[in-house]
Amino acid sequence: MRRAVIAFTAFLGGLVFLLVGPAHADPADCQGLKGTLTFQGQPVNGARIAVSTEGGQPVETVTSNAQGAWDVQVEDPGRYRVTLDPASLPQNTEIRGGNNVRTPTVYEGNCSSVLFALQAKGAAGQQQGDEAGGSSSFWTQAAQLTFEGLNLGLIIALAALGLSLIYGTTGLTNFAHGELVTLGAILAYAFNVGFGLHLIPAAVCAVILAGILGYGQDRFFWGQLRRRGTGTVAMMIISIGVALFLRYMYLILFSPQTESYAQYTAQPGIEIGPISAAPKNLVAMGIELLVLVIVGIALLRTRTGKAARAVADNPALAASSGINVDGVIRIIWTVGAAIAALAGIMLGLSQNLKYTMGQDILLLIFAGVTLGGLGTAFGALVGSLVVGLFIQVSTLWVPPELKSVGALAVLIIVLLVRPQGILGRRERIG
Amino acid sequence: MHAETTGATAAIDRRAAAEAVFKDMARDPGVPKPDPILVVDDVVRRFGGLTAVDVKHVEVQRGSITALIGPNGAGKTTFFNQLTGFDTADSGTWTFNGKPMNGVPAHKVARRGMVRTFQLTKALSRLTVLENMRLGAQHQKGENFWRALIPGAWRRQEAEITERAEELLARFKLDAKRGDFAGSLSGGQRKLLEMARALMVQPELVMLDEPMAGVNPALTQSLLGHVKDLREQGMTVLFVEHDMDMVRDISDWVIVMAQGTVIAEGPPSTIMSDERVIDAYLGAHHDAPLSESELEAQLQDAEAALEAEIEEETQK
Amino acid sequence: MDWITIFSTTIKSAVGVETVLYALAAIGINIHFGYTGLLNFGQAAFMAVAGYGLAVTVTVMGLPFWVGIVIGLVAAAILALLMGIPTLHLRADYLAIVTIAVAEIIRLVFRSVAFKDIFGGSDGQRGFSGGFQALNPFPEGDYGFNLGPIPIFFPHWQLWVMVVGWLLIALCCFIVFLLMKSPWGRVLKAIREDEDAVRSLGKNVFSYKMQSLVLGGVIGCLGGFVYGLAYGSVQPDVFGTETTFFLYTMVILGGAARVFGPVIGAMLFWVLLVLLNGTLSEAVAAGVITFIDTSQAGALRYVFVGLGLILLLVFRPQGIFGDKREIAIDAR
């Protein structure tokens, strides 16, 4: 009951805070304007965008590519006019707010992002007219967003599970966990696009390889640090170093641009009741759910799983009762890295691949883990689903780009009321 | 400050005085004392479904050394945490010197003259021994942000504090270590430092949570001496302890806790023969004192139970 | 390869505006992390509210420059209070996560379309440094000297920012020196070691942590002012989490809980970064290094930052100035 009240209060409080969402401006070496057009999570291909100077001198007209991205490089910094031709958009979509002209400023050596939010035709009008006429479209939208929220929540949960288990067993708050997520996506891309494997075997290879790398990371790095008696705060800051190192290595080895897999990039949605979903998302969610259930059962039923929870509970006691703590931690790193990689592949499937994709989702993973209570594996699952759902469903009331802020605000409010997280325990003093 | 005013009358043999007070006292839990410094009523603390502390009524006599004993998990430390404001009680009231203390935050409890130490010693490792001591002094002008910026505002007081700290360090034989980091001290020295630091607060009631735990035997006598010394200086001592030999040696009165409640009180010489206490420690009724073989069996049972517990813990 | 340019930019970076603004923010982090043990990963937010406070006051509200400074300082202090209330009774690791969350919320609000009229969206605000430059006592021109063949010159407007910035650094270091020698600083250091022990000695730990947070935040926000005034603009993405991470690198490089640690750390950080960048990009341009291109060379230096941070904490956690004895005691 108390928890329900807290969750509800947090939800309400979060709504008050709901503000703006991500869309990363990339400080890559370019000078001009760029943007990505998406509609309901899918890229919009072939939209015509005309760029002219402030005085009206045309610069260039481009069309968005298969990923919905477009890009215009300009000679001089300054203010430009960007016009999106509404006639070139897919028939069922329109620009949110109706205004199809933006006037961004280009700074020297910088690329400015230009944002056109798209929505289903007539959606805005309907939403306003709805108040009196009935709430069917509201509920349709709510169902759709709940579905998308579950999709996101499951991806976060996959990543959060590994983070939470590693925290529970080693006390490490791993800021490089986002990079494990990116790693999965990039490895799958390498097998898929680089070696020409179909995405499904490529994903399997990526997950296995990521698991091996996770094992290696603990065997040759974190395990050694623990043996040296490195403190948890020092390890946390070391993990920041690891995150920076890996992130920019990805940038060098992978690409500063966004990329996508060779298969399943743009799938038409199918209608299931009130929900429209691409089949790939349904399959992805099925796999995510299956993996989570398997890991959950493994934690509850298998010897290793029980040992893992015992180590998380009390490492000294576990060691004294004959559990090979280092061995358990190594298995957790292997599995944690593998499922984080899976999360990355799924994320790459529903969005695009980018070297910062893990970094961008890391805070949401942390939010999920912290909401549930640091170090409690099942808390992480609950917390992640709450974060995912909250982010998507909140867009019923606020623009989609405003959504992450709400989830973070909820995190803060929950901790204000219940400092140990939803399922966490209090610490003993003295 | 209270320690000093009462210090003038230190010539009285306080141990004898305390013994006189407790001489004919009843052995019931919650028995009233003639001059209680701490009075506790109906303190309850629950963790989920588990009731960790449920103390109906207990009083601590001023100027005495009172021991709080009980088997593992009896709620002694949790009870300490409630009284000193480190944890919030679900319900209950308690008064210190007649003033209500429930809901008072930990730092204010200390300021009112009720200072505690911890079971796991909390030496401030990367501060020197002398800095550890200075920290204990109250009403420091230089602890205010703005006055801290003007060294002249606090320098004289700092000198006084240092002088007092040096005296205490000499008494606790830590003066040779004054410039060392506290983290470099041995376990026993840390216990000494923690106790000396608590005295810098100039408390009326000193609450020691297992002062002898993890101290090497050579130092225990010295520690015991210091605890007795606190009474001689007019302070009241309430301490948690496992080792019955020590309890017998230094305490004037013993309070026994089991499963969160106070089950018995009495003088140290007879308390361990109290049936309720034996039950609590051994978990079964015994009409006669234990024979050698029974003790052996008891020990084996206890060990088996402990192993099962660990097993269960890991199987969870 | 153009070694003259490389050395010139490298030497200038030791005292340049980047170093100044990061040193100020790092002094704040040193108070939080080095002295009090607070893991504040939201320092960039303090720089952001100061920079934006100044920018919005001058450009949107049309008020004079000094009002903007006052508003920026007040905003930083308020942010510290707001950030502190929910976080300061939390464990260190929760604190780290919540402060990042707060900083991200602030960055996202500043770059939001909804508040574009006030904060300027992802492009930020510009054109508010006129009031500051009007006070510039240096006549127009370049100032400096030739170090042998290496020219070291700064334009007058940059020199003005640098002079003010270094005076601020000196003032902040002096304040930190006074405070950390005092009983007030003793309480902070004790909280870093064990806050329950400090509580049991009658100190209001929450209040001291809050004072530390406000002081470090306000000093850190000076870095935000220097950024805004030096570049004449503020953009939201400058104040991202990576900025805070770089600040931590500097503090640890110079030595945590040392008065001059963060300043030396910031100077070394930028000297190394600029030297690395200059050498790498020149080498790529001259065809000495062929396996990467210029933009990859830019990324490579951050690879080295990450690697440097790891190696530093593993092999020399006390930094340049730190005391080996202190580290040996406590494996935090």
Among the partner-chain residues B115, B127, B184, the one whose CB lies closest to the CB of C200 is B115
| pLDDT, tens digit, 9 for 90 and up, residues C10-68 | 999 999 999 999 999 999 999 999 999 999 999 999 999 999 999 999 999 999 999 99
Q: CA-CA distance, B240 to B243, in Å (whole number)?
A: 10
Q: CA-CA distance, B47 to B54, in Å (whole number)?
A: 12
Contact indicator for A359, A131 with CB cutoff of 8 Å: no
- Exposure string of B60-78, with b = 16+ CB inside 10 Å and e = fewer, is bbbbbbbbbbbbeebbbbb
Distances in whole angstroms, Cα of residue C187 to Cα of each of B6, C182, C198, C205: 30, 9, 7, 8
The DSSP symbol for B290 reads P
Query: What tokens does A336 get?
Result: 């944690």
Backbone dihedral angles phi then psi of residue C157, each to the nearest 5 degrees: -70, -35
Q: Which residues of C touch B194 (CB under 8 A)?
A: 197
Test C197 with B122 for CB contact under 8 angstroms.
Answer: yes
Chain A neighbours, 3+ Cβ pairs < 8 A = B, C
Query: What tokens does B50 get?
Result: 């588990």
- Comparing A358 with B297, which gets the higher pLDDT? A358
Q: Which residues of A touch B118 (CB under 8 A)?
A: 430
Query: What tokens does A275 get?
Result: 């929900």
Query: Is B181 at the interface with chain C, CB within 8 A?
Result: yes
Q: Which residues of C touch B128 (CB under 8 A)?
A: none
| pLDDT, tens digit, 9 for 90 and up, residues B253-265 | 999 998 889 998 9
Mutate which of B83, B117, B145 to test chain C, going by most C C-beta atoms within 10 A?
B145
Does C144 map to a domain?
Answer: no
Does C143 map to a domain?
Answer: no
Amino acid, res. B192: L
Test A225 with C314 for CB contact under 8 angstroms.
Answer: yes
Query: How near does any CA of chain C get to the CA of B80, in Å?
Result: 12
Q: Which of C198, C194, C190, C212 is nearest to C83 (CA)?
A: C212
pLDDT greater than 70 at residue B138: yes
Q: Which helix (H) or strand (E) holds A104?
A: none
Does C147 map to a domain?
Answer: no
pLDDT greater than 90 at residue B116: yes
Please count the residues of chain A.
430
- Exposure string of B253-267, with b = 16+ CB inside 10 Å and e = fewer, is bbbbbbbbbbbbbbb
Test C192 with B126 for CB contact under 8 angstroms.
Answer: yes
- Comparing A351 with B227, which gets the higher pLDDT? B227
Amino acid, res. A430: G
Test A310 with B316 for CB contact under 8 angstroms.
Answer: yes
Test A321 with B119 for CB contact under 8 angstroms.
Answer: no
Average pLDDT, chain B: 84
What is the end-to-end Cα distance of chain B in Å, rounded?
A: 52
Query: How near does any CA of chain A get to the CA of B120, in Å?
Result: 6
Binding-face residues of B in 98-157 toward C, CB within 8 A: 105-108, 110-111, 115-118, 122-127, 131-132, 134-136, 138, 140-145, 148-149, 151, 154
In 3-state terms chain A splits into helix, strand, coil percentages (rounded to 5) of: 60, 15, 30
Q: CA-CA distance, C326 to B181, in Å (whole number)?
A: 8
Where does C172-276 show beta strands of DSSP type E? 233-234
Query: What tokens does C311 get?
Result: 């190696």
Test A318 with B86 for CB contact under 8 angstroms.
Answer: no
Burial class of residue B97 in the structure, from the number of CB atoms within 10 Å of its CB (0-12 exposed, 13-18 middle, 19+ buried): middle
Range of the domain at C50: 3-138+155-329
Contact indicator for A33, A105 with CB cutoff of 8 Å: no
Q: Which residues of C touch B88 (CB under 8 A)?
A: none
Tokens 């200059």 map to which residue? C278
Query: How near does any CA of chain B get to the CA of C176, in Å?
Result: 9
Query: How near does any CA of chain C get to the CA of B52, in Å?
Result: 21
Amino acid, res. B26: A
Listed range (A18-22, B135-139, C114-118) with the worst mean pLDDT: A18-22
- Exposure string of B102-111, with b = 16+ CB inside 10 Å and e = fewer, is bebbbbebbb
Binding-face residues of C in 209-228 toward B, CB within 8 A: 211, 215
Among the partner-chain residues B118, B313, B314, the one whose CB lies closest to the CB of A430 is B118
Amino acid, res. C285: A
Does C208 map to a domain?
Answer: yes
SS (H, E, C) C111-172: CCCCCHHHHCHHHCEECCCHHHHCCCCCCCCEEEEEECCEEEEEEHHHHHHHHHHHHHHHHH
> What pLDDT sits at residue A19?
27
> What pLDDT sits at residue A317?
79
Return all residues near B143 (Cβ < 8 A) that are at least 6 apart: C183, C184, C186, C187, C203
Q: Which residues of A touch B77 (CB under 8 A)?
A: 428, 430
- CATH code of residue C284: 1.10.3470
| pLDDT, tens digit, 9 for 90 and up, residues B4-36 | 444 444 445 777 888 788 887 887 888 888 899
Listed range (A28-37, A309-318, B207-216, B293-302) with the worst mean pLDDT: B293-302
Query: How near does any CA of chain C get to the CA of A267, in Å?
Result: 30
* Highest mean predicted confidence (pLDDT) among A28-42, B68-82, B102-116, C85-99: B102-116
Return all residues near B182 (Cβ < 8 A) that are at least 6 apart: B123, B124, B125, B126, B127, B128, B129, B132, B190, B193
Q: CA-CA distance, C327 to C330, in Å (whole number)?
A: 6
Return all residues near A309 (Cβ < 8 A) that are at least 6 apart: A299, A377, B316
All structural domains of chain A, each given as residue ranges with its CATH number in brackets, are 32-114 (2.60.40.10), 141-417 (1.10.3470)
Query: How near does any CA of chain B get to the CA of C184, in Å?
Result: 4
Query: Is B200 at the interface with chain C, CB within 8 A?
Result: yes
Chain C residue with Cα closest to B144: C184
> What pLDDT sits at residue B279?
80
Average pLDDT, chain C: 90
What is the end-to-end Cα distance of chain A in Å, rounded?
A: 30
Please count the residues of chain B.
316
Distances in whole angstroms, Cα of residue C278 to Cα of each of B54, B166, C10, C232: 70, 57, 8, 25
Q: CA-CA distance, A271 to B268, in Å (whole number)?
A: 80
Q: Which helix (H) or strand (E) holds C229?
A: helix C205-231
Does C149 map to a domain?
Answer: no
Test A321 with B209 for CB contact under 8 angstroms.
Answer: no
Distances in whole angstroms, Cα of residue A79 to Cα of each of A51, A108, A398: 11, 12, 29
> What pLDDT sits at residue B270?
85
Contact indicator for B178, C323 with CB cutoff of 8 Å: no
Backbone dihedral angles phi then psi of residue A43, each to the nearest 5 degrees: -65, 150
Q: How confident is the model at residue C174 (pLDDT cuts 50, 70, 90)?
A: very high
Query: What tokens does B108 get?
Result: 């204010």
- Comparing A98 with B285, which gets the higher pLDDT? A98
Tokens 């420690």 map to which residue? B281
Largest CA distance in chain A: 78
Q: Which residues of B touch C330 (CB under 8 A)?
A: 125-126, 183
> What pLDDT sits at residue C98?
85
Backbone dihedral angles phi then psi of residue A183, each to the nearest 5 degrees: -55, -45
A275-277 and B36-47 as β-strands: parallel, antiparallel, unpaired? unpaired
Q: Which residues of A touch C95 (CB under 8 A)?
A: none
The CA-based dihedral angle spanning residues C229, C230, C231, C233, taken in that order and rounded to the nearest 10 degrees: -10
Query: Is A95 at the interface with chain C, CB within 8 A?
Result: no
Q: How confident is the model at residue C96 (pLDDT cuts 50, 70, 90)?
A: confident
B91: β partners? B44
C318: β partners? none
Q: Which of A119, A137, A106 is nearest to A44 (CA)?
A: A119
User: ipTM strictly over 0.85?
Assistant: yes
Query: How near does any CA of chain B get to the CA of A1, in Å?
Result: 13
CA angle A37, A43, A45 (to 5 degrees): 80
Does C145 map to a domain?
Answer: no
Local confidence pLDDT in tens for the 430 residues of chain A = 444 444 444 443 433 333 222 333 333 456 778 887 877 666 777 777 888 777 667 777 777 777 777 888 777 777 787 888 777 777 667 776 667 777 777 776 667 777 777 776 654 433 333 333 345 577 888 888 888 899 999 999 999 998 988 888 888 889 999 999 999 999 999 999 988 889 999 999 999 999 999 999 999 999 999 888 888 888 999 999 999 999 999 999 888 888 888 877 767 777 777 777 778 888 889 999 999 999 888 888 888 888 888 887 777 778 888 888 889 999 999 999 999 999 999 999 888 888 999 998 999 999 898 888 766 778 888 889 989 998 888 888 877 777 888 888 888 888 877 777 666 665 555 4
Q: Which residues of A touch C109 (CB under 8 A)?
A: 19-20, 405
Test A247 with C302 for CB contact under 8 angstroms.
Answer: yes
Does C150 map to a domain?
Answer: no
pLDDT greater than 70 at residue C153: yes
Test B124 with C179 for CB contact under 8 angstroms.
Answer: no
Query: What tokens does B126 get?
Result: 């990367």
- Exposure string of C261-296, with b = 16+ CB inside 10 Å and e = fewer, is bbbbbbbbbbbbbbbbbbbbbbbbeeeebeebeebb
Among the partner-chain residues A19, A24, A415, the one whose CB lies closest to the CB of C86 is A415
User: SS3 for B208?
Assistant: strand
Contact indicator for A84, A63 with CB cutoff of 8 Å: no
Query: Within 10 A of C309 (CB to CB), how many other CB atoms are there?
Result: 25
Query: How near does any CA of chain B get to the CA of C150, in Å?
Result: 43
C144: β partners? C153
- Comparing B304 with C34, which gets the higher pLDDT? C34
Q: Which helix (H) or strand (E) holds A60?
A: strand A58-63
Q: CA-CA distance, A350 to A230, in Å (whole number)?
A: 39
Chain B neighbours, 3+ Cβ pairs < 8 A = A, C
Q: How confident is the model at residue B307 (pLDDT cuts 50, 70, 90)?
A: low
| pLDDT, tens digit, 9 for 90 and up, residues C178-225 | 999 999 999 999 999 999 999 999 999 999 999 999 999 999 999 999
In B149-243, alpha helices (H): 151-171, 187-200, 217-232
> What pLDDT sits at residue A89?
77
Count of CB contacts below 8 A, A vs B?
Answer: 35
Binding-face residues of A in 343-372 toward C, CB within 8 A: 363, 366-367, 370
CA angle C297, C298, C304 (to 5 degrees): 85
Q: CA-CA distance, B41 to B39, in Å (whole number)?
A: 7
Contact indicator for A375, A424 with CB cutoff of 8 Å: yes
Q: Which residues of A touch C111 (CB under 8 A)?
A: 20, 25
Q: How many domains does chain C have?
A: 1
Q: CA-CA distance, C108 to A26, in Å (whole number)?
A: 15
